[in-house]
Structure 1
Amino acid sequence: MRTRPAEFAETDILRLAAELSAAARPFALGIVVDVRGSSSGRVGAKALFDVEGEVIAGWVGGGRAEATVAHAAVEACASGTPQLVDVDLDSEVLGAGMPCGGWMRIYVEPVLPRPALWILGHGRVAECLCHFGALLGFAVIVDDVMARPERFPEASRIVTDDPAYATVAPAEGDFAVVATQHRGDHESLGLLLASEVGHIALIASRKRAGLVLSHLRKAGFGPQALGRIRAPAGLALGAGTPEEIALSVIAEIVLVRRSRADRRAEARAGGVLVAAPGEMWPPFVLAAAEPLRIVGE
């Protein structure tokens, strides 16, 4: 239910914003940054909007001005990009339909939960992935019975009592990397394919990746399911060391993450094709010296 301005101080709005952020609830914060002429809003006025454009609390202006900002809030939450909205209060035709004889500018900032990076496995590559992931703003979750806190100091959570990966529960916007060093590849990938996770990466050699995908195919997973797996994971950087392998994997994740601003976006960079989340990747060669990403026979 919307909270009227008299019932909700601006300091309470900021406190509520902090609570929503801590609860991993997406929302947008609208702030009036400029006003000219007559306007029901004032500079500094704030309001919180949910992902559907409904006002959670606060006030930035009445009538169609609020509706205009609500629409911008929906776009900001969907794209992850801030919006700057100009509302003409003087014209029914050219403006937002509120003839007050003024003009407002509202800045709309999306506040979205950090995507999670699930790392299944341990070892130097997993440790570097944790470091890179945390540095890039991911909430890193490490799941492996041999994971040690001192080896993953930047992890948001470490799970060591789940040998079968039964508690792995990534969301649609999350990313998952299987770095089990061949122990539990099939089981962990099967569980990930049953989830809504948007990106699944397997760190393995070309030969090992082919064997794992063949096993999953025989287990009943079809081309569409297998097309969700990046195997072998990583961009064609010529990586050789654990640090370089981790860099290539996280670089691919960043590429996919950025492409999600447009759900149907396709990006080509160095021979890499990024499919929208949930789409199958057709078999193709990244480069002459790069192994084939095997997603089918």
Structure 2
Amino acid sequence: MNTIARAACELLDRQEPFILATIVSHSGSTPRTAGSRMIITAAGRGIGTIGGGLLEAGAMSRAVELIGKGQSALMPFDLSDNNVATMDMICGGQADVLLAFVSPTELNRTVFDQWRRMLDQRPGGCLITVVRGSQENIEAVAHCVATAAGEIIGDFPLSGGEGEMALNAAAGSTGPRWLALETGFVLAEPTRRVPGTYLFGAGHVARYTAAVAAMAGFRVSVSDDRAEYANRERFSDAHEIRVLENFDDAISGLSVGREDFIVILTRGHLHDKTVLAQALRTDAGYIGMIGSRRKRNAIYGALLEEGFSEADIDRVHSPIGLSIGAETPEEIAVSIVAEMIRHRAHSFTAHG
């Protein structure tokens, strides 16, 4: 969601209204893509995706009309029968897409900026969308954020029992949650921790790996000891760029948790070994190192002699990336991020 939040802030800063499209469910079921979001601009440009196919095309077409009128709408889509095969999204049932008009007011700028900060800084909290009206006629849509400390920032037009129910749903939610009201509904979405990807090395493979990882929803940090390589011009998609004095304390000062990724792509095996030794002392859930099996085995042997265990070595993905016959830096980057996506899907979802 970081891409959506950042794009929303940029549009609001430019005084541009947009539609925030979100998949919800009125039946109370939770389809696979519930909570998926995208932004649609007045020019018809889409940022993000709600799954593609006819659903997304229909939502984008309607969104442009709504922006011109300053209105919101709830669009139902029948995802059964022939449409399922076409859209490949949800196996049967009914999907509803909320097309929420967001005007460039100071209050909305504050709300979406706070949401962006919460996603970037990972303090916890929830984005709450309050919808008033019926499926046929959406009267009003309000957005606010509830911080981990219980503070409400933005427009929260609920009080009494409804307000209490909405806030309890937000506080107890580990994923997107839909709550029916007498006069509408509430969608609460917790700000999930975005896995950090720490790239060490800023060469050609790292440059493309950073770009692909950012597109795939990772929060990318790039570190190198060469300022002419580690810079914003080369890594425009990175969230953080660090120019090191050397690699001896490359991970010092970084908060690396079990959901984070360390990707070692330095320019030589000595630097790789230096960074890998530090990486193995972190809780990183994924550690990958580029290089041939011969180079990898030499590094492993040296680390074992220094006191690391076989269990430590078993944590490392090397040669890094899925085996897809990649040769160019661009192809290698795709193979690396593909392996990261697979690891994220198989490992971290189990942690909740």
TM-score (norm 2): 0.56
Whether 2:302 is the aligned partner of 1:215: answer yes
State the identity as a percent.
26
Whether the 8 Å CA contact 2:244–2:250 is kept in 1: the answer is no
Cα gap change, 1:261/1:193 in structure 2, threshold over 3 Å: closer, same or farther? Answer: closer
Whether the 8 Å CA contact 1:142–1:158 is kept in 2: the answer is yes
Cα gap change, 1:108/1:163 in structure 2, threshold over 3 Å: closer, same or farther? Answer: same
Shift of 1:45: 5.1
Instruction: Work out the CA distance in 1 between the residues paired with 2:345 and 2:292.
Output: 26
Equivalent in 252, 256, 264 of residue 171 of structure 1: 256
Whether the 8 Å CA contact 2:224–2:247 is kept in 1: the answer is no
SS at match of 1:75: coil
Instruction: Work out the CA distance in 2 between the residues paired with 1:104 and 1:131.
Output: 40
Whether the 8 Å CA contact 2:173–2:190 is kept in 1: the answer is no
Whether 2:136 is the aligned partner of 1:49: answer no
User: Which residue is 1:125 aligned to?
Assistant: 205
**Aligned amino acid, residue 49 of structure 1:** A
Equivalent in 290, 300, 323 of residue 203 of structure 1: 290
Shift of 1:240: 2.2
Could you report, residue by residue, the CA deviation over 1:231-250 in whole angstroms, capped at 9, with x for unpaired residues? 22111212222222211111
Whether 2:243 is the aligned partner of 1:160: answer yes
Point out the more displaced range, 248-257 or 42-51.
42-51
Equivalent in 21, 25, 29 of residue 116 of structure 2: 21
Whether the 8 Å CA contact 2:166–2:186 is kept in 1: the answer is no
Instruction: Work out the CA distance in 1 between the residues paired with 2:197 and 2:217.
Output: 10
Whether the 8 Å CA contact 1:171–1:198 is kept in 2: the answer is no
Whether 2:193 is the aligned partner of 1:107: answer no
User: Which residue is 1:270 aligned to?
Assistant: none
Point out the more displaced range, 254-263 or 242-251.
254-263
User: Which residue is 2:59 aligned to?
Assistant: none
SS at match of 1:263: helix
- After TM superposition, the structure 1 = structure 2 runs for residues 78-89 of structure 1, keeping only pairs within 5 Å, are 81-86=175-180
Instruction: Work out the CA distance in 2 between the residues paired with 1:106 and 1:190.
Output: 48
Instruction: Work out the CA distance in 1 between the residues paired with 2:183 and 2:289.
Output: 53
Whether the 8 Å CA contact 1:200–1:230 is kept in 2: the answer is yes
Instruction: Work out the CA distance in 1 between the residues paired with 2:277 and 2:110.
Output: 41
Task: Work out the number of aligned pairs and report it.
Answer: 231
Cα gap change, 1:250/1:14 in structure 2, threshold over 3 Å: closer, same or farther? Answer: same
Equivalent in 122, 128, 131 of residue 33 of structure 1: 131
Shift of 1:65: 6.1
User: Which residue is 2:46 aligned to?
Assistant: none
SS at match of 1:262: helix
SS at match of 2:256: coil
- Aligned Cα root-mean-square deviation (Å): 3.2
Shift of 1:107: 0.7
SS at match of 1:84: strand
Whether the 8 Å CA contact 1:69–1:106 is kept in 2: the answer is no
**Aligned amino acid, residue 131 of structure 2:** V
Shift of 1:179: 0.8
TM-score (norm 1): 0.65
Equivalent in 218, 221, 234 of residue 321 of structure 2: 234
**More helix as a share of residues:** 2
User: Which residue is 1:191 aligned to?
Assistant: 278
- After TM superposition, the structure 1 = structure 2 runs for residues 67-82 of structure 1, keeping only pairs within 5 Å, are 67=165, 69-76=167-174, 81-82=175-176
Which consecutive residues of structure 1, in runs of 5 or more, have no partner in the other structure? Answer: 1-9, 37-41, 88-101, 266-297
